Structure 1
Amino acid sequence: MKIAIRLIILFIIIVLLEVYAFQAIKTITKNKFIRYFWLLISVAVYANFLYVSLTYDRGQGQTPQFQMAMGLLLTVLIPKLVVLIFMFGEDVYRWFLKLISAISSGETKPLAGRRKFISQIALGLAAIPFASFIYGIIQGKYNYKVLKYQLTFKDLPEAFDGFTITQISDIHSGSFTNKEKIQYGVDLINQQKSDIMLFTGDIVNNKADEMDNWIDVFDKLEAKEGKYSILGNHDYGDYMDWENPQDKIDNFQKVKDIHKKIGFDLLLDEHRYLEKNGQKIALLGVENWGKGFNQAGDLKKASANVKQEDFKILMTHDPSHWEYKVKNDAFNYHLTLSGHTHGLQMGIEIPGWIKWSPSKYVYKQWAGLYEEAGKYINVNRGFGYHAFPGRVGIWPEVTVIKLKRA
């Protein structure tokens, strides 16, 4: 029943979007070819989405074909939402004028006609998200950015002064379609020449075999003193309809085996000590822990035999773990590295001016570096993409962190 109600509401919203958008087109042009072409594009996108939704194997999770159908749907709907806001606002104004006229004159006059310049403004502004989504699907998802931070700690061992970390996250290999572009991203990671490389989860969307065509790309990742990784929520196979429980168990083991194939030491509620000149820091990695779902990570198990006074770097996929468990833990985890949010793959970021994404309404720490009481978390925006096959304003990220001793 609830699903039916949601579908009805969704249908009504889409109808409103289409009606108002078509009214804007009718207002600015009488050319029937343009009007019919507008309708044809909308019909084609809806038909494609329905066809893909009804024919793809839901047991396989989100395929690149489904993601593209979803991406095209959002590309035509979001701009029409902009048009709706303007056109509905004009309707309120038109009815207000009619009401005032009726009160003052006692006569009921016809509703005032639509103003052409309002439709032009609405469609002009709608063109911005439309162009942004098209760019995001074609090129934005490969617009890799290297973000560099320098963090200073009083208790960092002297031997690790200047130690560099490259963090990557959320590969989501099941979404990839362009090997040349992904190779470019991998080469960019290697160009950072960091001491260690840390991967913070979600190597696949659902199934281990999604990585088969990409192992020969990602096994080229290099770091002078080692590569370490953890699991993300998508790595457990929880979003698949498995024929039997054993298939899910076997797939999970294959996902864990991928990390070894590409040269990463997978930490499953474990820690490793990194040593330089007789001094050491602790690197800890937990399984996925997310608010409200899949709380497999065991921080105490990962910290077993780690000392209170040790300098600690923690890898945990979901930043809500830091917010609800890690940051207030008296054991003192100096630096936490997470991913998961992707920054929702869409938003607005102008350094020093604005940083916004709908993701901020779900996660307190959703992208970039955060600090509380001398403890830091970096939420990597992700290397790959999922659900929406592109990125708009929130670009794929390679993080480089240099540790400095105060």
Structure 2
Amino acid sequence: VLIIGISIMILLLTSDSSNPSLQWVFSGVILMFYASWSSSATIPQAIAGMSPFLIIWLISDDEDDLQLLLLPFKSESARMKFAKAIPWYGTSAFLLLTWLLLTVEIDGTNLEAHEFYGAPFIGLLAIGLTIYAWGKSVDIKTGNIIFVSIFFISILLAIYSEKFNLPGDSSLLFASSFSRGSVSIFLLTWMALAIPPNIKQAYSTLTSVIPKIRDDGLLSKKNSSRIRLLGSHLSHLGILLLLVGHIFTTTLIDRSDPSHLVTLSRDQPILHDGYEFIFTDVELIALDSEDYDYPVGDGYLGVVIEMRKDGELIDTLRPGILRFDSPSGQVTPRSEPDRHVGLFGDTIIILDIFQSNDLLDAMMFRETSQVDRIRVTVHDLQGSHAVWLGWILIIIGGGLALASSQKFHPKKQKI
């Protein structure tokens, strides 16, 4: 932190003294904020670290900095520039935050910190994509009213998040005063604002570009800018859908919470998350067997679990482990999850490392038939389909942008 802070200060001091660069000032201030959040520095140390950056900014001759910060709320062109700058500056700030968090996680990861401190960047990205989709269709006054209203609505909904029946671990805390549910519903409010105009924009672009593609072809130079625009609009919508899926499957889910651990006894139904899980059998597949479907490993050991709803069989899941044999005789297991694809999301079942080792020991002592109890981790990931739909749109958008590049345009042969 000290080295990066000094580097930013040098860049700031070598800039125009009468008009210091705002990005270096804010970079230094944000660095110290992050240092405090990640516990790399105490609060007094962080204040002392950001003071030189603020002093240089305050004693500068330029008096228009505050007006510059307020310009996106006064001008449509400035608002659009602000929206286009969010991916660059937001990504840089998020990478800086990630680096600081990783440096203090040498002894162990802290996924909650990444999710909690990264949440404002998700909201900021939603704001940027909303502004971009609006274009000039929403005037400054209306836009400001909408943003202020959504801000207070999102705060209010976050405060009363326990009133909503959210999936996952919405009641678990990120910090002393912020639950997973409150952070998630705060972000989902901004997603609800951003998605409709982006759907409208993508649909409008699609309906205007498709006839041109039919007339001139996908690889025509006439359509390169149109195809690139369509690709970007589809990617924007895909990013938002992916983030919605991220909120449901990551922000709302605590992967390490013991409530996801389920102990199953053989042939005994256990109710979990509205489903009945029944452990019925242990299966062992050798490497030379025709049923071995894995390109790696030296053998497979799995369990058979029936998934039922009100007594009706929905799916049969087979989580297990792959065995890797080393020349020294050491055997290393790798867990292989299985999933049930539902209407609103996926249910993932996986064996943890301790259960994998127990099954591996049972296999080595030829006692797999005597295994009458297993422990599995079950994650009900509602909203996971939004992740896949978002990725598909991003891939399509990226493919269209690639197809619009010069190297894909057919060259005319010279006579």
Q: Which has the higher contact order (CA 8 A, sep 6+)?
A: 1
Highest CA radius of gyration, 1 or 2? 2
TM-score (norm 1): 0.27
TM-score (norm 2): 0.27
Task: Choose between structure 1 and 2: higher helix proportion.
Answer: 2
